[in-house]
Amino acid sequence: MNKLTESKKVAIQGFEGSFHQTATRQFFGKNVEVACCATFRELIKKAEDRTQTDAAVMAIENSIAGSILANYNLLQRSSLTITGEIYLQIKQNLLVNPGVSLEDIREVHSHPMALQQCLEFLDKYNWKLVETEDTALSAKHIHQHKSKHVAAIAGKLAAELFDLEMIAPNIHTLKNNYTRFLVLQREKEALEVEGANKASVNFSTDHTKGSLVKVLGKIAEADINLSKLQSFPIPGSNFNYSFHADMEFDDKDQFYKLVEKIKPVTNTFKIYGLYKNGNK
For the chain, the domain total comes to 3
Give the pLDDT confidence of 197-235 residue by residue, as tens digits.
Answer: 999 999 999 878 889 999 999 999 999 999 999 999 888
Report the number of secondary-structure helices (H) and strands (E) in the chain: 9, 15
Does residue 192 belong to any structural domain of this protein? no
Same domain? 260 vs 151: no
Does residue 280 belong to any structural domain of this protein? no
- H/E stretch holding 159 reads helix 156-161
Does residue 213 belong to any structural domain of this protein? yes
Burial of 27 (0-12, 13-18, 19+ CB in 10 A): buried
- Return mean pLDDT, the chain: 94
Using DSSP's 3-state secondary structure scheme, residue 263 falls into helix
Give the pLDDT confidence of 147-170 residue by residue, as tens digits.
Answer: 999 999 999 999 999 999 999 999
Same domain? 75 vs 119: no
Does residue 191 belong to any structural domain of this protein? no
Does residue 12 belong to any structural domain of this protein? yes
Domain that holds residue 137: 93-168
Same domain? 247 vs 266: yes
What region does 136 belong to: left with phi over 0, alpha with psi -120 to 50, or beta? alpha
Query: Which CATH number belongs to the domain containing residue 40 in this structure?
Result: 3.40.190.10
Report whether 216 contacts 245 (CB < 8 A). no
Same domain? 11 vs 83: yes
Q: Check: pTM over 0.85? Answer yes or no.
A: yes
Nearest CA to 269 among 200, 218, 213? 200
Report the alpha-carbon distance of residue 63 to residue 88 in Å, rounded: 10
For the chain, helix, strand, coil in percent to 5 are 30, 30, 35
4 pLDDT above the threshold of 60: no
